Structure 1
Amino acid sequence: MPCTIGIGKQDFASLREGNYFYIDKTKLISQWWESGDSVTLITRPRRFGKTLNMSMMNCFFSNQYADRQDLFTGLEIWNEEKYQSLQGSYPVIFLSFAAIKADNLQDTKKQIKAQITEVYRNNRYLLDGALLSEQEKKEYEQITKDMGDAECSLSIRTLCSYLFRYYGKKTIVLLDEYDTPMQEAYIHGYWKEFTSFIRSLFNSTFKTNPYLERGMMTGITRVSKESVFSDLNNLSVITTTSERYADCFGFTEAEVFASLEQFGLIEKKKEVKRWYDGFTFGSKRDIYNPWSITNFLREKTFMAYWAATSGNVLINKLIRTASAEIKEGMEDLLQGREIVVTFDEQIVFDQLDHAQNAIWSLLVASGYLRVEQVEYRGAWRKPWYHLMITNLETLGMFSDMFAGWFENSGTNYNAFIEALLKGNIKEMNAYMNDVALTTFSSFDTGNHPSERTQPERFYHGFVLGLLVELQDTYLIRSNRESGLGRYDVMLIPQKPEFDGIILEFKVRETEEEASLGDTVCEALKQIKEKQYDRELIAHGVPEDRIRCYGFAFEGKRVLIGAG
């Protein structure tokens, strides 16, 4: 009889005690222990079992679970006798930063200090007897959410020393979702101040701690060593392109199909693959999103379960304000094409506004793009990544994001699209000026782009919106070669009853053009002289069914004319 499917079960002990649906990932325990690494950082997308796996590690190693062998009976790890004797044999400190979310530095520090205070509270038995001196007991009691930064930075190391004296064994430290407060710090503008605080805590805990047996951290991103792990030379970093632990997070295809069989859904496997497959870790392909699979097994309905669990605030901001080149890459991805880019897999948050390709690193780490192939070029073997959108679910997430750029600003974007398809110039002008006025600032990178570059950023965001609205009826192309040049935007109809449409965007040259009307004429003239209609004609669109529009920009003013 199929077991119960519990959604969001992240506590390993309660999951096993309740006989809830579980796919065995205990191989992570043996693989990690055999590695011998002092400190391991494993990055995986959100909702990929990081917290459940960390809870599993805690239940396995912690001496607080010394009498809970039942939690592992029947699982892969229990087939090896040496691991049976290892279970429940170490002091363990288990922390999670998953809920550390605040819009200011002081509240973030207090939340982290409150987490550490809770760990101290759970180990108050150390205050009994003469293990600690009176001064140490006094200092123990002073570990509260109001402790100073210096006391906080040493607090985990100090607790490890107390546990060592009590048990005679060094401590295993587990830190889940270590980078959540870092993303918050970047989004809300206190990144530099926060890194000095967290760097001290991490270095004291994981670098200069003689009472540390081993440490494991999990998160979504690999934050640069220089930012938070300075001089931590014993850190083993496992990213989404690393081979180690490749199938320890997420479900393999064999595991998914076996689960579908178990719950009488095997006939749905092709559609399940289309929706939820596509993640790659190292050379392991066909890794499925466990959150979506678990939800599908229970609900038996195809939905964007995973994409609905996050607001994607950081990714949304970075794509919206990205350069035209980045948006062009997103256009290709949205239409099912592969892009090839180079980037550094480590995230330097304070460079995200300046390092153009950092967005690709974040999208890969977050699971929204999959790595099809990595090729190494040149004498220095620089990595170039072949990327595609991961699956149908993530495609829907991007579509909702791009549509939201216009919807959230209260513009008449949909009304503009309707006017465009009808060829109503008057309405197009009214609606486009409304759209431009209310969304230009959304595409500002914060680096004060010029009036010449701002429309370029805007129109590529505009194209992404077109792709969302019209992809069922038109092929949307931008900045492609046709005739004797490169047009800005082309709508190629997929049905014979629709017209082909060419859009050309131009910023007014004040020295050469007396008015926006002159700029419109120049745009239309360019369409004709460069023969941009050649591609539409090649697709079988008759010349009399091709509509051309010139868009003239001056600041936030737009004038549209037809030719």
Structure 2
Amino acid sequence: MKYPIGIQDFRELREGGYVYVDKTKTLFNILQQGGGYYHLHRPRRFGKSLLLSTMNELYRGNRELFEGLWIDNHWDWEGMQRPVIWLKFSSQGIRTMGLEAGLDAMLNGEANRLGIQLEKATFDLQFKELIQKASKENKVVLLIDEYDKPIIDYLDDPQVAEAHREILKSFYSILKDSDPYLELIFITGVSAFSKVSIFSDLNNLYNLSLVAAARTLLGITQDELEHYFAEPLARVDKAKVRQWYNGYSWGGTEKVYNPFSILSFFQGGGEYSNFWFETGTPTFLIREMKKRAYYFPERIEVSQNKLNAFDLTRLDPISVLFQTGYLTILKYEPEDHLYTLDYPNMEVRQSMEQSLLHEYLEGPIQDPLARVAGLRNALREGDIEGMVRIINALFASMPYDLWPQQQTERFFHAIIHLTFDLLGTYIRSEVHTANGRCDALVETADRIYALEFKLDKSAAEALQQIFDKGYLQPYADSPKQRVAVGLNFSSEERAVVAWESEVL
């Protein structure tokens, strides 16, 4: 079986004999509504470019590439042929050429492909000229891939990002008056729109991103995985695969796998790794989360306005986390119009928390995940003193002069939370932040730990809270040894200075 990892060209995929998950019925059901202006935002590495490549071949009438697919016998191959303009912002060398030069190269490249000579001098007028000249015999299908890449790539440089937004706003402004020449516009990207959108003049742009018809247009469903990948799936633990790579949802019901991750997993012979996260997590996002003390963004309730917000002047980390794929929709409450967001899967959760812990600790020499593995071993062996030693080593790895003087408490809770959440990668570990629940519950093969941390108080007080609140009571019938551990952290010494434990 040939896996199309990184292949974004539909022709190359089909002619190369790669496995293809047939999405043409879902695409047809969207397109059969007639001409329209559509936008779809999805995280990177989700198949957006392949989708537009499929549409390019479809409207150009290349039926031979669709043989055996659902749409082969349902598409009007002669009546639906259209000239296609396909703009790809991911391949224009904007960082080296500059955005305006990149737009000029992109437009002239499409003009040459269509046999058109552009005469206008500015990029916006060239864009309008290209559309008009391409529509001599039939209306144009306009495909725009990664429209927001010139902005997303510069979120850590707001001045450049804002300058690019203004250029793009001028570029896209010509679309409003080009309606007589356009059959269809289909735009993909990562970000949604805000009141200062670059598409503010395009009133009839329909956002498909949360619409039921498009929720499984990209990504691989469980049924599709079991149908198209039955052979490699039979050699692995299906439940563990779901835990690691499934879970993306744009409605709270249908869930899909990130194609890049699951294909990389099969290509690698079934080794669990963080494939998607390593392909370009923006460092500005990690820094911004630390700055705002966001360290447990899961299970957050938000409105649809927040999901679709993308304002360069006031970037909201939660909105950015959702749109870039680090959070997804866990459930939707129609009565309240509220979405609950959570990490999509183990791959993203582990990678994000590891990066966050690394950032909170100001880049320690030893990988935080290595310390978490040591923490696991100490708890398996019942070595509480060893556990405390590892926790203190974590805090000690943070340079003294960089410790935030006014944020000791929230930084302390962030590091504890992230450490024990990462522990869940190896053994059952739950971290709670709501009132009335202990700071961490950890379960090994032989023991169940209830851990309560206090800041500048006493270990005895922390231990007593475990008993007063009955944190271990739900495990009274367990044959495992139950261990209550109270710890006190000193903000002055920046370490756990006392701990008490009791075996039940």
Calculate the TM-score normalised by the size of structure 2. Answer: 0.80
State whether residues 172 and 214 of structure 1, in contact with CA within 8 Å, keep that contact through their aligned partners in structure 2: yes
2-structure distance, mates of 1:558, 1:263 = 49
Q: CA deviation at 1:195?
A: 1.6
Alignment partner of 2:290 out of 317, 320, 340: 320
2-structure distance, mates of 1:299, 1:558 = 42
State whether residues 103 and 188 of structure 1, in contact with CA within 8 Å, keep that contact through their aligned partners in structure 2: no
C-alpha distance 544-538 of structure 1, shift in aligned 2 (>3 A): closer
Map 1:394-433 to 2 at 5 A.
394-405=348-359, 409-410=363-364, 422=385, 432=395
Question: For residue 309 of structure 1, what is the aligned residue in structure 2?
Answer: 279
2-structure distance, mates of 1:259, 1:544 = 47
2-structure distance, mates of 1:537, 1:152 = 65
SS for the counterpart of 1:186 is coil
2-structure distance, mates of 1:407, 1:312 = 18
Range 300-309 or range 404-413, more displaced: 404-413
State whether residues 361 and 398 of structure 2, in contact with CA within 8 Å, keep that contact through their aligned partners in structure 1: no
Question: Which amino acid counterpart does residue 50 of structure 1 have in structure 2?
Answer: K
Kindly report the root-mean-square deviation, in angstroms, between the aligned alpha carbons of the 2 structures: 3.9
C-alpha distance 436-497 of structure 1, shift in aligned 2 (>3 A): farther
State whether residues 41 and 216 of structure 1, in contact with CA within 8 Å, keep that contact through their aligned partners in structure 2: yes
Q: CA deviation at 1:504?
A: 2.6
* 1:126 counterpart = 2:116: yes
C-alpha distance 495-112 of structure 1, shift in aligned 2 (>3 A): same
State whether residues 430 and 440 of structure 2, in contact with CA within 8 Å, keep that contact through their aligned partners in structure 1: yes
Alignment partner of 1:163 out of 125, 134, 150: 134
State whether residues 206 and 212 of structure 1, in contact with CA within 8 Å, keep that contact through their aligned partners in structure 2: no
SS for the counterpart of 1:385 is strand
Question: For residue 340 of structure 1, what is the aligned residue in structure 2?
Answer: 301
Range 422-431 or range 243-252, more displaced: 422-431
Alignment partner of 2:415 out of 449, 462, 467: 462
Q: CA deviation at 1:237?
A: 0.4
Range 420-429 or range 307-316, more displaced: 420-429
Deviations 1:491-534 (A, max 9, x none): 767577798654333xxxxxxxxxxxxxx4xx339946984663
Alignment partner of 1:113 out of 104, 108, 133: 104
Deviations 1:86-144 (A, max 9, x none): 35x2111101122467679x834433433233223334x334xxxxxxxx64x4xx5xx
Question: Which amino acid counterpart does residue 193 of structure 1 have in structure 2?
Answer: A
Deviations 1:521-560 (A, max 9, x none): xx3399469846634774589999644313225xxx8476
Q: CA deviation at 1:56?
A: 0.9
Question: For residue 361 of structure 1, what is the aligned residue in structure 2?
Answer: 319
Map 1:4-83 to 2 at 5 A.
4-62=2-60, 66=61, 68-80=62-74, 83=76
Q: CA deviation at 1:427?
A: 9.7
Q: CA deviation at 1:218?
A: 0.8
The unaligned stretches of length 5 or more in structure 1 are 128-135, 143-150, 442-450, 506-519
C-alpha distance 498-283 of structure 1, shift in aligned 2 (>3 A): closer
1-structure distance, mates of 2:194, 2:361 = 35
Question: Which amino acid counterpart does residue 126 of structure 1 have in structure 2?
Answer: I
Question: For residue 504 of structure 1, what is the aligned residue in structure 2?
Answer: 454
1-structure distance, mates of 2:261, 2:393 = 42
Q: CA deviation at 1:22?
A: 1.1
2-structure distance, mates of 1:199, 1:121 = 25
Question: For residue 489 of structure 2, what is the aligned residue in structure 1?
Answer: 550
2-structure distance, mates of 1:428, 1:299 = 34
Q: CA deviation at 1:562?
A: 2.8
SS for the counterpart of 1:213 is strand
Deviations 1:48-85 (A, max 9, x none): 221111001111113xxx5x3211222211212x5222
State whether residues 171 and 212 of structure 1, in contact with CA within 8 Å, keep that contact through their aligned partners in structure 2: yes
Alignment partner of 1:221 out of 191, 194, 199: 191
C-alpha distance 243-558 of structure 1, shift in aligned 2 (>3 A): same
State whether residues 245 and 345 of structure 2, in contact with CA within 8 Å, keep that contact through their aligned partners in structure 1: yes
Map 1:491-530 to 2 at 5 A.
494=444, 501-505=451-455, 520=456, 523-524=457-458, 527=461
Question: For residue 220 of structure 2, what is the aligned residue in structure 1?
Answer: 251
2-structure distance, mates of 1:5, 1:299 = 11
State whether residues 374 and 384 of structure 1, in contact with CA within 8 Å, keep that contact through their aligned partners in structure 2: yes
* 1:371 counterpart = 2:371: no
Deviations 1:414-463 (A, max 9, x none): 7798799537999987873551636647xxxxxxxxx54x2244224312
2-structure distance, mates of 1:30, 1:428 = 55
* 1:287 counterpart = 2:256: yes
1-structure distance, mates of 2:310, 2:334 = 22
C-alpha distance 504-495 of structure 1, shift in aligned 2 (>3 A): farther
State whether residues 186 and 349 of structure 1, in contact with CA within 8 Å, keep that contact through their aligned partners in structure 2: no
SS for the counterpart of 1:301 is coil
2-structure distance, mates of 1:469, 1:248 = 32
C-alpha distance 260-525 of structure 1, shift in aligned 2 (>3 A): closer
Alignment partner of 1:236 out of 191, 203, 206: 206
- Tell me the percent identity: 22
2-structure distance, mates of 1:234, 1:14 = 34
Map 1:78-227 to 2 at 5 A.
78-80=72-74, 83-87=76-80, 89-99=81-91, 107-123=98-114, 125-127=115-117, 137=119, 139=120, 151-164=122-135, 167-190=136-159, 191-205=161-175, 208-227=178-197
1-structure distance, mates of 2:401, 2:340 = 35
Alignment partner of 1:435 out of 378, 381, 398: 398
SS for the counterpart of 1:229 is coil
Q: CA deviation at 1:216?
A: 0.5
1-structure distance, mates of 2:459, 2:216 = 57
Corresponding pairs, count: 481
1-structure distance, mates of 2:278, 2:410 = 27
1-structure distance, mates of 2:387, 2:16 = 63
Q: CA deviation at 1:490?
A: 5.3
Deviations 1:274-333 (A, max 9, x none): 33222223465132222233334433313333333332435423432234xx43x43xx4
Q: CA deviation at 1:395?
A: 2.7
C-alpha distance 92-469 of structure 1, shift in aligned 2 (>3 A): closer
Q: CA deviation at 1:476?
A: 5.5
C-alpha distance 20-322 of structure 1, shift in aligned 2 (>3 A): same
SS for the counterpart of 1:280 is coil
Q: CA deviation at 1:226?
A: 2.6
Question: For residue 387 of structure 1, what is the aligned residue in structure 2?
Answer: 341
SS for the counterpart of 2:44 is coil
State whether residues 315 and 359 of structure 1, in contact with CA within 8 Å, keep that contact through their aligned partners in structure 2: yes
* 1:350 counterpart = 2:312: yes
